[in-house]
Amino acid sequence: MSLLDAARAVREMAYVPYSRFKVGAAIRGASGAVYRGCNVENVAYPEGTCAEAGAIAAMVAGGETELIEVAVIADSPSPVPPCGGCRQKLAEFGRHDTPVLLATTEGATLATTVGELLPGRFDAGHMAKAE
């Protein structure tokens, strides 16, 4: 199964009673294992979590901290862009050139990278004077 098909499958599990907007994400760790996540909303709206965050949590729980490929899919008019917070989360575990495939359920895709999604990211180097 392709990474995009894994994202497509887990999207069906999304818990979205408030937005009705299902998102699926799949991440390939450096080991080759695939980790999946879907969005999980909450009646206290800010407590909801994005599909990408779920996939990242599954990867870390699986013992990996390096992602080498990402796929995200939703039923959107154009390939679904990760939110700002998820871009920072992806940047924590990916490299500048790590491929990210954004997709619609109808077949449109946009190939990008972690670095393109978050230029000028905050990283540990910015805390160099904090010790």
The residues carrying an active-site annotation are 52
Question: 124 among the known binding-site residues?
Answer: no
98 binds ligand THU (CB under 6 A): no
Among 16, 57, 68, 110, binds ligand THU (CB under 6 A): 16
Among 13, 48, 69, 121, binds ligand THU (CB under 6 A): 48
- Reported residue count of the chain is 131
- Using alpha carbons, list the distances in angstroms from residue 9 to 6, 35, 50, 112, 118: 5, 12, 16, 21, 27
Q: How far is the CB of 42 from ligand THU (least distance, A)?
A: 9
- Using alpha carbons, list the distances in angstroms from residue 37 to 24, 63, 90, 130: 6, 16, 13, 34
33 binds ligand THU (CB under 6 A): no
Query: Are the C-beta atoms of residues 73 and 104 closer than 8 Å to each other?
Result: yes
Summarize as ranges the residues that interact with ligand THU (CB under 6 A): 16, 19, 21, 23, 39, 41, 48, 50-52, 72, 80, 82-83, 86
Binding-site members are 39-45, 50, 83, 86
